[in-house]
A and B are shown apart, each in its own frame.
Chain A
């Protein structure tokens, strides 16, 4: 109450300022008039009486100021006064002001963007009720879980209220018109109940809907899909649709603010996992080895700590390993955030943290930059400060005014930066990097972002505003007024120079980091992945979804391959289960040495990538066969099992890559497989992975594929080729859903994270470079302007141009050198961190080193160019006349 009153009083005082000032003026005048009248009565003449009255009254302005202070409300008044004064000062040097505001806008903008991402991806909880106790059950080896294992975990754990499971699936949804393949989740019946999600429309599915395999032909749409594809038609509930040509019923719609638990992936629909057979084309519900459950999640029971829940899960895992040794290695669990699977979450978190660190460095560099600019300004204004001190202003008041100036700049820069970052984040939020896949980065800025930007602005304002404080405190008015403008104190420059070196070092770190990143990206784009994606078109189909029986699949595959090979201009056609580096992921299987007897997972020699291929796949994919032979159509069920393996596989499992052809290894069902060919190494899941073993099995010896990709290598125009391929395949089956895409385009998907990383690092490096330009420029320009007179004299005395330059800029160049060297060393150390994220990021690359040195040299040259010109164009006559 008291506070409110005092606030009201102050505000009133503030707004009534002019009225109060007028009243005060009138009151004091009235006093002096009364006094003058008295004096006049005592015999003085009018003029003398008035003079005496004024003298007796004393310093009117001083007392008015004291009165205002006595009234309170004065603090705001004096702050306003400071602000007006600061604005005047800043307006007087627009170049400085603009440079400072821009620098800060960039630095704070960068921080706000990175924080916005950090906030959205890591800090913000999933949008479900009671998100705090919601955990994902992750395996410590990042593997997925199998459905039977999930059931055991669900029923036997004692730490969770309930456990739901989630799988990813793509279905052909036919609503009567325009059948399309869309992405969504297959979820266990308890999914919505575990999360506590209420329907927006109709109802959601529940455990009671599940009565065994394919018993729940229901589909739940998400609000976004319903909104965009059904135009908010409330009559969809209960409507019959076809999912992969099976009849399904639309049960309901999820609420608008629920976009699934994964942050990057917004699904279009939910279907019950028990119908996996119809949805995915085959069912892994009874197969403990097929790990198709991408996430298990649930709320912890009240009072159960994550540690206890993990210990409990581990006991279940141990008993599963004991009961099913063939299928389960001993599993241990961790609890993770449900927003990202741990295999993605860990690198994303590490990367965003690294970015935040770099952005913080940028802000620090900007503060060092502005700090040295402010120090330079303050020393230029030392005469003014001295005068004000001599006239009775308090040091506190002068400091407050300097800080006001710094804060004004930082707030202006901060709001500009924030506006920019909001625009950028909004763009990023609506950005869909891949058409067809509901993948996006939800980074809508919120109050947290605004708050952080504001705090950063104020803190950085104080940080660089404080730099000249010592200077003001040490100012001795008499000395400075006596000495005139040429007076300077040596140590003051030193402090500024340290700031500059620090700033250049930070910038060099950023430049190094971005060089490393850009170089890594260049290498990853031109690296050897064991494939040649140029001139290759991918045709994705799923024969199981299209309704083919297992027996009819392989003949159909051969007909499709033949039809595509018959297209003029087509060189090779190969069929594969999943292409390497594709978005469909990859199969992996445990492999055993030939002499291994006990084929339980813990005895596996390796968990190898596995590709099921047609005979001509290697040519179509551009993978080189190093030794041995490729497959023929005769490698079928009647022939002995064979495989081709990559060099890594040969070296790791067969002992050596040189004479591996003809050797045997075992797969988990005990089959002995003979190696008939060795192919070159490649990248399989992501371009940043370490070298992995891979094996290739002939199509005709394996179980029929559901999803399949056909590679068509041809130099023909891709669009024409795609159209021709479509008509040829439609001629075989008119109703088959087909996706045709360029392989290079498909690879963008696996390059995505590496590219994003490189681009963001590159941008930060660019900002670092800009900051070092402004920093060096400021320093060089200042030192030239300070020493103009000296330079003039040197020129007048006949100094040569090089000597003048050395005198004017020698110091700046030296500082640049020291800073860059320090930054380079630091940058190399820091790049070890980067190499975890950016493919082939090695700082010990001579090109990177040369690049950094060259970049810093160029930056120095650009930044000192104008000051150097100014130093050279000094006209001694004019200068000496001016003084």
Chain B
């Protein structure tokens, strides 16, 4: 438990986009996928996923459709739109730049002492 990290604000959307980019998923599936691709290193309350999903749908980055899940339950599936793909690429780039910059800053040795 202790090695799980709190999510940075704003990053949940990016994770959702990333999770869905591999293929259409329902909400619970997205949660599992995020756990899987992050190595279960991130801590979110499960319900917190949904406001994010609705927000992304409203922004036109995701589309939804009702279908049947792998264990035969009705579920709502989310899929990336064209705009979603584009946004994912942009966000990933800027995230990488940010991480690189922060990492560079942190790895810099102080001049003295």
On A, residues with C-beta under 8 Å from B are: 23-24, 26-28, 30-31, 33-35, 37, 56-60, 62-63, 66-67, 69-72
Contact = CB atoms under 8 A, between A and B. Distances in A.
Contact of B71 (A37, A58, A66, A67): A37
A56 B45 contact: yes
A58 B45 contact: yes
Contacts of B69: 30, 34
B64 to A, nearest CB: 9
A63 B48 contact: yes
B46 A58 contact: yes
B47 A28 contact: yes
A70 B47 contact: no
A31 B46 contact: yes
B45 A57 contact: yes
20 contacts: A23-B76, A28-B50, A30-B26, A30-B27, A30-B73, A30-B74, A31-B26, A34-B28, A34-B29, A34-B73, A34-B75, A56-B45, A57-B46, A58-B46, A67-B54, A69-B51, A70-B52, A71-B54, A71-B57, A71-B58
Nearest to A41: B71
Contacts of A27: 27, 50, 75-76
B55 interface: yes
Contacts of A66: 50-51
Given A56-B46, A59-B47, A34 B54 contact: no
A58 B47 contact: yes
B47 A35 contact: no
A771 B77 CA distance: 62
Interface in B8-44: 26-29, 31
A62 B28 CA distance: 18
Contacts of B71: 34, 37
B91 to A, nearest CB: 18
B1 to A, nearest CB: 13
Nearest to A69: B51
Q: Which of B27, B51, B58 has the most CB of A within 10 A?
A: B51
Given A30-B27, A60-B47, 16 more contacts: A24-B50, A26-B76, A27-B27, A30-B69, A30-B75, A31-B31, A35-B46, A56-B45, A57-B45, A58-B47, A63-B50, A63-B51, A66-B50, A67-B51, A70-B58, A71-B58
A73 to B, nearest CB: 9
B9 to A, nearest CB: 14
Interface residues of B, number: 23
B74 to A, nearest CB: 6
- 10 smallest CB-CB distances across A and B, nearest first, come from A66-B51, A63-B47, A58-B47, A70-B54, A34-B28, A58-B45, A70-B55, A67-B54, A57-B46, A70-B51
Contacts of A63: 47-48, 50-51
Nearest to A62: B47
Nearest to A28: B50
Contacts of B46: 31, 35, 56-58
A66 B47 CA distance: 10
A62 B46 CA distance: 12
A23 B26 CA distance: 13
B46 to A, nearest CB: 5
B78 to A, nearest CB: 10
A739 B45 CA distance: 96
Contacts of B54: 67, 70-71
A28 B75 CA distance: 9
Contacts of B58: 70-72
Contacts of A56: 45-46
Given A70-B58, A71-B58, A26 B51 contact: no
Contacts of B29: 34
A646 B72 CA distance: 112
A57 B71 CA distance: 20
A33 B73 CA distance: 9
A257 to B, nearest CB: 52
A56 B31 CA distance: 12
A5 to B, nearest CB: 11
A66 B55 CA distance: 10
Contact of A31 (B28, B51, B52, B57): B28
A30 B69 CA distance: 10
A56 B46 CA distance: 6
Nearest to A65: B51
B80 to A, nearest CB: 18
A30 B45 CA distance: 16
B24 to A, nearest CB: 15
B28 A58 contact: no
Nearest to B69: A34
A537 B47 CA distance: 94
A67 B46 CA distance: 13
A62 B47 CA distance: 9
A30 B28 contact: yes
A671 to B, nearest CB: 96
Q: Which of B45, B50, B75 has the most CB of A within 10 A?
A: B50
A57 B48 CA distance: 8
Interface in B54-69: 54-55, 57-58, 69
A823 B42 CA distance: 71
A62 B52 CA distance: 13
Nearest to A23: B76
A31 B55 contact: no
A63 B55 CA distance: 12
Nearest to A35: B28
Contacts of A59: 47
Nearest to A60: B47
Nearest to B32: A38
A66 B26 CA distance: 19
Given A67-B51, A67-B54, A31 B45 contact: no
Nearest to A61: B47
A57 B46 CA distance: 5
A57 B27 CA distance: 12
Contacts of B75: 27, 30, 34
A620 B47 CA distance: 100
Contacts of A33: 73
